[in-house]
Amino acid sequence: MALFVLGVNGSPHKDGVGSALLTRALDQCVREAKVARVDLADHVTNFCDGEYRSATPEGLGELFKLLELADAVIFSTPVYWFNMSALMKAFIEHMTALENRGFVCEGKVAGLIATCEEDGGQSALSLMAAPLVHMGFLLPPYAMLFYNKNMAEKSEADWQTKDAALIGANVVRLAQQVKGINWGYDGMG
């Protein structure tokens, strides 16, 4: 059975730098997996109210179905004040509904991309990684990339574009290796 990789664009802009890097990563995945891409601007319409239910939040039914089917997910976000976008933050918070259904994301592989104009890329990546790992996502080597578009020279931009492709390749590699492993407490002897 072929792998399925979902790309999630957390920018309100569907054609920005983060979108291009996400596309580059997904282009690498398409060699060995089925891929789909979603723009959170089309799905996230409200913020999490802190009531962690298992019900699907309004407007996220289709996206949650894709997320449940995915073997791997590549998340891309712009950086706003050293953090991920409000769209991405709201989405990750809404994903608690999946966790409350029995850790639906356990064993899925994640890649992370953040784009910034000044600083805060590494901070945003760390703030995304922490809840995703707690939800059961696995991160392969070289799976977190930040791109500072005002500081990058052409040679630096080329390197970062290559790293976006490496995220795609490593997400697929790890997903192939771990598919079917039980990572939860019930998998302990």
Owning domain of residue 106:
3-47+54-180
One-letter identity of residue 6: L
pLDDT digits (tens, 9 = 90+) for 124-141: 999 999 999 999 999 999
CB 9 within 8 A of CB 38: yes
Asked whether residue 151 carries a pLDDT value surpassing 70, the answer given is: no
- Alpha carbon distance 78, 135 (integer Å): 22
Q: Check residue 164 and give its pLDDT.
A: 93
- What is the count of structural domains for the chain? 1
CB 64 within 8 A of CB 97: yes
* Residue 122 resides in a domain: yes
CB 184 within 8 A of CB 103: yes
Nearest CA to 70 out of 101, 25, 36, 102 is that of 36
Q: Global pTM?
A: 0.93
* Residue 133 resides in a domain: yes
**CATH code: domain of residue 59:** 3.40.50.360
